[in-house]
Amino acid sequence: MQLRNLQTQVSQPPRSRVLLWADLKHSDMEEIEKSNSIPEIERILCRALLASDVAQPKQRVLLELYTNLVLFCKDRHFNREQTSVLISIIKNVHQFNTETPLNNTDHCLTYCSELLLCHSVRRPPFSIDLFSSEQVTQILSYFINTYMRHYFLYKYIFTPEVQLDISLSYIGIPEDTDTEETAQSESVENGKRETERETEIDEEVQQIAALEMTATETDSLEQGSSPKSELKTIVQKEVRDEVMRLSAQLQQRLQDSADQLNNAISKLETNIQIKK
């Protein structure tokens, strides 16, 4: 018996587009600029970006993500348009990331880079020159050190748990004969009762005959179930070995994914330091 390997495929990132005023409107940015405290910023972001109850743990995580992003923009003196676009970029990358429980690290980095490029080059109507090259470097550095560094944490919180459900079917196993054996036993018992009434056999002879019949039926049942028991043992062993092999493969894939993420972050950090 063999189990087929799971076929997994990560979807490609959507096409980048201009996100100016896509989520935070001009009026929202005016309120954020006038706000002087984090609770006020959270109230505005919650009203504009979060549809459900902010008391839910997932919504609190998103609210903290967006609030820290606004503080980053204020620290870098980004204008209203830049802040609105950057929040929309991170929101779209997060939505793409949480569409699947599979590892799509490279796709998220690519999608974020394409969205930043779409807002850094003047080529209307496909792109606008909203960020400078220095600002793009700062944004990528912030994105890697915050969101991508906690990539698996966001994946764990916002994606459903994957469970492997194995369904097995076998060819060549004889059908269950319990019904036939029951019918045969009932017919034997009925015949025995009629014989007892007609011939009036001695009680001792009846007991001996009953014991012999019971022993015969037990032997036949044991002989009939022996091949099935042996087959069941073989199947259980094969399934156990296959599940252990799949578990080892999944563990290795998770380790490889973590190594790839760490390598990607290290390379990007090195490139950013070289540019500086």
State the pLDDT at residue 49: 92
Question: How does DSSP assign 207-231, residue by residue?
Answer: HHHHHHHHHHHHHHHHHHHHHHHHH
* Position 139 pLDDT exceeds 60: yes
Same domain, 146 and 173: no
Same domain, 151 and 59: yes
Stretch 223-241: mean pLDDT: 74
Stretch 178-202: mean pLDDT: 54
Largest separation between any pair of C-alpha atoms in the chain: 110
State the pLDDT at residue 255: 82
State the pLDDT at residue 175: 53
* Position 37 pLDDT exceeds 50: yes
Listed range (13-17, 127-131, 223-227) with the worst mean pLDDT: 223-227
Find the helix or strand (DSSP H, E) in which 266 lies.
helix 203-275
3-state secondary structure of 123: strand
- Confidence label for 182 from pLDDT (cuts 50, 70 and 90): low
- Confidence label for 232 from pLDDT (cuts 50, 70 and 90): confident
Same domain, 129 and 183: no
Stretch 172-182: mean pLDDT: 53
At 220, list the tokens: 């036949």
- Confidence label for 272 from pLDDT (cuts 50, 70 and 90): confident
Is 13 inside any structural domain?
Answer: no
**First vs last Cα of the chain: how many Å apart?**
58
Nearest to 113 by CA among 255, 257, 272, 260: 272
Same domain, 58 and 151: yes
Choosing from 134, 162, 190, the residue where a domain stops is 162
Same domain, 193 and 210: yes
Is 5 inside any structural domain?
Answer: no
Q: CA 45 to CA 51: how far, in whole Å? A: 10
* Position 65 pLDDT exceeds 90: yes
Is 83 inside any structural domain?
Answer: yes
Q: Which residues contact 117 (CB under 8 A, 6 or more apart)?
A: 16, 127, 136
Same domain, 195 and 216: yes
Stretch 209-213: mean pLDDT: 53
Choosing from 129, 162, 195, the residue where a domain stops is 162
Q: CA 82 to CA 84: how far, in whole Å? A: 6
* Position 177 pLDDT exceeds 80: no
Q: CA 98 to CA 147: how far, in whole Å? A: 13
Domain that holds residue 192: 164-276
Same domain, 253 and 214: yes
Query: What's CA 213's distance to the chain center, in Å?
Result: 58
31 φψ region: left (φ > 0), alpha (ψ -120 to 50), beta (else): alpha
How much is the mean pLDDT over the chain?
80
The total number of structural domains that make up the chain = 2
Is 188 inside any structural domain?
Answer: yes
State the pLDDT at residue 251: 81
Stretch 22-35: mean pLDDT: 94
